[in-house]
A and B are shown apart, each in its own frame.
Chain A
Amino acid sequence: MVEPIFEYQFRLILIGDSTVGKSSLLKFFTDGKFAELSDPTVGVDFFARLIEMKDGTQIKLQLWDTAGQERFRSITKSYYRNSVGVLLVYDISNHASFEHIPLWMMEAQRHIEPHRPVFALVGCKLDLINAGGHREVTTEEAQKFAKQHGLHFVETSARSGANVEEAFRMVTQEVYARIRSGEYKAEDGWDGIKSGFSRPNSLDFNLVVAEPEKSSCC
């Protein structure tokens, strides 16, 4: 089957404490596999995947995985710039990782402003809890925090794949909705959102009358 060409490209970034499962989440989302052994991320890592919206529109996600370790903080900070979506990742079995979420969120907001990114609170390692592990962050507690701060919220497992697709879809759908409503514009130079390659008129490309296409929507 021919891979479809996408309409828009969004840039998302994953942040959160080290070892909460950011890389595993991304790996499952892009490969459909769970990595049993996962080395700590060195700095930043890049992933890409297509995802389809409810109305059939193809969106390409450019996904940046970041190291949670303090020593990489000065590097990862530079990657917040131009991100349109932020996934705040914590470990359900590690309450400290949840307690650090406000700090991560503030850091992201500070580096991305004045743009207002779409945030999602993502709990990882749901499979451990389902297997009898000790849950340290209740769903209610996380839900309350998410509601207070206007975040999307979902609990996931990169091992079983539970809700992984949903975690990325909710952010993408929200960004897409904001484009449709005009809140976001795919402006030239704003890398968080880029126009894609299958705009209707691109199939009727005519060299005689061609001029650089204006990046605009809605």
Chain B
Amino acid sequence: MSSTQEKPEELDRIQKRVNKILEARLESDKDTLDALSGLSTFFTENTLQNRRNLRSQIEHRSVGINENFLKAFRQVKLSLDAVCEDLDTMATSVETMKSDLETSKALTKDLIKQTNTMQRERDRLEVHKQIAQAFLARFQLSGAEHQLLYGAAKDAPIVADFFRVLDRVQSIHADCRLLMQCGYQTAAIDIMEEMTLHQEGALERLYRWTQNHCRSLENNEIGPLIVEAMSRLQDRPVLFKYVIDEYAIARRAVLVRQFIEALTEGGPGGNPKPIELHAHDPKRYIGDMFAWLHQSIPTEKENLSLLFKKCDKQDISDQLQNALGYIADGVCHPLKVRVETILQAEKDTIVLFTISNLLRFYQQIMRQVVQGGSLEECLVELQKSSEQIYLGALAAQVRSVLQRPSGGSGLALEPPQRDLVPPPSVARLLNMLKEILSVATMVDGRQADITKIVSCVIDPLLQSVQESAAHLPTVDMGVYLLNCLHHMQSSLAVYEYMDERVERLQAQSDAQLDTLTSEQASSLVANLNLGPIYAILQSNQSKIETNLLKIFMSKMDAFLELPDVLLLPQVQLIMSSSHRAAVQKRSFNVIVAIYKQIYERVHDPANGFEQPEQLLHRTPEQVAHILTST
């Protein structure tokens, strides 16, 4: 594109253009660069033709490009149409889905609401579950506990945990009251009912176990479990009583067997020796039997106390005594048979009395251990029986002594002898009585025994003495009776409980002393010739013949010198010196009294006695002094 000749204006314009191109910074105009780069692909030569075709070529190229583009775009359009169609379909679907969703949403609104409700319910129920579990743990038995209560197998033994569970049952039952107060009446009642059933079942099982255990208490294994069992069974008085009865039955059999063994076999291998080895010695034999019982029965009592150690809900002492009485009952028969055999065979009154004392002693001492029951009755009965037997033996012995050797039917002593001393039979009976009374005794009730024994001997003896004295003259009878009474009194006075008897004997003695005093005084009056004078004194006459007084005083003087010469010979036979002195003194006092009256009469000037001092030269005091000093 060069020209040979150009105008200056054209050169300037070309230069402007070049400058403009150079200043255009083409390297930084990407579009231009790209265009140029594209142009270079088909504008290979810079010819006029090429330049003239450039526009059409460019336009042609542009049309081609556009056609390609259009062709490609057609594809795009088709795809896009498909997509658009799909989109429309999707829009339709979405619309459908949307409406479905709206429908579903409407339908499931309740469901969701319900779900939420149920979720909250679940949470609440979870809490309830925990509460229920806690409740069950508190108000129900666990499986293990249930098994402990009822036993894993039939006849399973009771163990200590049984009582823990039983406590739990009772605790739950008690806690139900709280439930009641909180308003859960139905639950509380149901649980209480259930616990009651558990308790009944448990106590029933406990009862059977305890009863069986008590039945086989051969060696008295009252362990802690039995003690605890009895404590629980208190709540069921009938079952409690049955168990006690069972125990008592078992122990009763054991006690009887042990007693028989002690009697017949003794200890292991014969040591200690059998009690019956000493059966020939009644005191020893009976004493050993009772000592054995006295040592065994407190052991049974202690065992019962141990059995009841934890029984604190009511007074158990009556049941203990009843059970103990029942246990002790068993020994009554073997004991009674043996004691009665001894009593029937023994003849010695002293031995019989000793046995009776022994029985009374043990009667009292056993009562301290076991009250009521057959054993106490048995002892009372044996004691009465022994008393009857020894009193009977004593009475028979008395009768045999009082019987005449000739075998007459009535009681009679040997006839009194001239010396008026008690006959040998009296001494014999009194010695026998003393032997009995000397038996050492250790029981209350002794006084009643002594009284009976003394009556048994003294009463018939007194009767016999009085009968044998009846035919004697008055003075002899008095002395004889006095001597016999004195012998009785002196024999009895040294023993206890004799006050009444001695007092009665003394009264009888006093009566005889009065009789003898009267007789002696009468004798003195007669011998001193006081009869006529005394008659005058009694008749209140004023005159006493001097002659009578002289005779009297003569005898009186002789009497005062030797007072004893005028004593009745029988009075000398009084055995008791105090009795003799009493008779003498009292009769002399009578004489003194009479003398005093005479003396006063004679010395009264009114009576006109001349020289009374010569008639009665002794004063009454002098006479009294002389007589009392003898």
- Surface stretch bound by B, among A77-85, A136-144, A168-176: A77-85
- Nearest residue, chain A, Cβ from B268: A187
Which A-chain residue is minimally distant from B272 (CB atoms)? A81
What sequence of 0s and 1s flags, for each residue 52-87 of chain A, a beta carbon within 8 Å of any chain B beta carbon? 000000000010100101111011011101100000
Q: Which residues of A contact B271 (CB under 8 A)?
A: 114-115, 190
Q: In the bound complex, how far is the Cα of B370 from the Cα of A72, in angstroms? A: 22
Could you show 16 A-B contacts with beta carbons less than 8 Å apart? A3-B309, A5-B306, A48-B298, A71-B441, A74-B283, A77-B287, A79-B291, A81-B272, A187-B268, A203-B223, A205-B213, A205-B225, A207-B157, A207-B209, A212-B219, A213-B221
- Which residue of chain B has its CB nearest to the CB of A11? B295
Residues of A within 8 A of B369 (CB): 46
| Distance from A177 Cβ to chain B, minimum over Cβ atoms (Å) | 21
B-side contacts of A197, CB under 8 Å: 220-223, 306
Whether B288 contacts A81 by the Cβ 8 Å rule is yes
Does A105 sit at the interface, judged by CB under 8 A? no
Residues in B with CB closer than 8 Å to A157 are none
Partner of A43, one of B212, B265, B298, B442: B442
Inter-chain CA distance A130–B306, complex, in Å, is 41
Question: CA–CA, A58 to B361, complex, Å?
Answer: 34
Task: Give the residues from 263 to 311 in chain B that come closer than 8 angstroms, CB to CB, to chain A.
Answer: 265, 267-268, 271-272, 283-284, 287-288, 290-292, 294-296, 298-299, 302, 306, 309
Query: Are the C-beta atoms of B223 and A82 separated by less than 8 Å?
Result: no
Chain B residue contacts of A43, Cβ below 8 A = 361, 365, 442
Answer yes or no: A160 CB below 8 A from chain B CBs: no
**A195 close to B (CB within 8 Å):** yes
B contact residues around A67 at 8 Å (CB)? 442
Bound Cα distance A12, B364 (Å): 23
Number of residue pairs spanning A and B whose beta carbons lie under 8 angstroms apart = 122
Q: Which residues of chain B are near A5, meaning CB under 8 Å?
A: 222-224, 306
Residue on A with the closest CB to B444? A42
Pick from B155, B220, B296: contact of A191, CB below 8 A.
B296
Q: How far is the CB of A29 from chain B (nearest CB, A)?
A: 17
- Let me know if A46 and B268 touch, CB within 8 A: no
Is A30 part of the contact surface with B, judged by Cβ < 8 Å? no
User: B218 near A: Cβ within 8 Å?
Assistant: yes
A107 within 8 Å of B (CB atoms): no
B361 contact set on A, CB distance < 8 A: 43, 75
- In the complex, the chain B residue whose C-beta lies closest to that of A3 is B309
Q: Is B442 in contact with A205, judged by CB distance below 8 angstroms?
A: no
Secondary structure of the A side of the interface? loop
A-B pairs with lowest CB-CB distance, top 8:
A78-B291, A71-B440, A212-B218, A187-B268, A78-B287, A202-B223, A213-B219, A202-B221
Asked if B358 is at the interface of the complex by the 8 Å CB criterion, the answer is yes
A57 to chain B, nearest CB (A): 16
Between A71, A78, A79, A191, the greatest number of chain B beta carbons within 10 A of the residue's beta carbon is seen for A78
Q: Does B258 contact A (CB under 8 A)?
A: yes
Number of interface residues of A (CB under 8 A): 49
A199 at the A/B interface (Cβ < 8 Å)? yes
Contact A205 B155 (CB under 8 A): no
Q: Which residues of the other chain, A, contact B358 by a CB distance below 8 angstroms? A: 74-75
| A188 to B262 CA separation, bound complex (whole angstroms) | 11
Residues in A with CB closer than 8 Å to B268 are 185, 187-190
Contacts of B262 in A (CB 8 A): 189
Interface of B is mostly: helix
CB < 8 Å neighbour of A70 from B212, B216, B287, B440: B440
B contact residues vs A (CB 8 Å cutoff): 155, 157, 160, 209, 212-213, 216, 218-225, 258, 261-262, 265, 267-268, 271-272, 283-284, 287-288, 290-292, 294-296, 298-299, 302, 306, 309, 358, 361, 365, 369, 440-442
Given contacts A189-B267, A213-B218, contact A198 B290 (CB under 8 A): no
* A44 contacts partner chain B, Cβ-Cβ < 8 Å: yes
Complex Cα spacing A212 to B295, Å = 23
Please, which residues of chain B bring their CB within 8 A of the CB of A202? 221, 223
Bound: A133/B407 CA distance, A: 69
Q: How far is the CB of B594 from chain A (nearest CB, A)?
A: 57
Which of A72, A82, A204 has the most CB atoms of chain B within a 10 A radius of its CB? Answer: A82
State whether B287 touches A75 (Cβ < 8 A).
yes
**Is A210 in contact with chain B by the CB < 8 A criterion?**
yes
Taking CB atoms and an 8 Å cut-off, the chain A residues in 1-26 that contact chain B are: 2-3, 5, 9, 11
- Please state if A190 and B213 are interface contacts (CB–CB under 8 Å): no
Question: Which residues on the A side are within 8 Å of B216 (C-beta)?
Answer: 210, 212
Residue of chain B at shortest CB distance from A69: B442
Partner of A189, one of B221, B258, B295: B258
With both chains docked as a complex, state the minimum distance between the C-beta of A71 and any C-beta of chain B, in angstroms.
Answer: 3
Q: When the two chains form their complex, are residues A189 and B261 in contact, meaning their CB atoms are under 8 A apart?
A: yes
Whether B295 and A191, one on each chain, are in contact in the complex, defined by CB atoms closer than 8 angstroms, is yes
The residue on A at minimum CB distance from B219 is: A213
Q: How far is the CB of A214 from chain B (nearest CB, A)?
A: 8
Most buried by B among A2, A205, A213: A205
Q: How far is the CA of A191 from the CA of B299 in the complex (A)?
A: 10
**With the chains together, A174 CA to B478 CA distance in Å?**
73
Q: How far is the CA of A63 from the CA of B69 in the complex (A)?
A: 136
Instruction: Tell me how far the C-beta of B192 lies from the nearest C-beta in chain A, rounded to whole angstroms.
Output: 31
Interface contact B309-A203, CB-CB below 8 Å: no
**Interchain nearest-CB distance for B84 vs A (Å):** 96
Give CA–CA (A2, B231) in the complex, Å. 13
Q: A75-B358, A213-B219 in contact; A205/B157 too (CB < 8 A)?
A: yes
User: Which residues does chain A contribute within 8 Å of B306, judged by CB atoms?
Assistant: 5, 197
Distance in angstroms between the alpha carbons of A212 and B213 in the assembled complex: 11
Closest Cβ neighbor of B303 among chain A residues: A197
- When the two chains form their complex, are residues B157 and A206 in contact, meaning their CB atoms are under 8 A apart? yes
| Distance of B480 from chain A, by nearest CB (Å) | 38
Bound CA span A72–B357, Å: 11
Closest A residue, CB atoms, query B222: A197
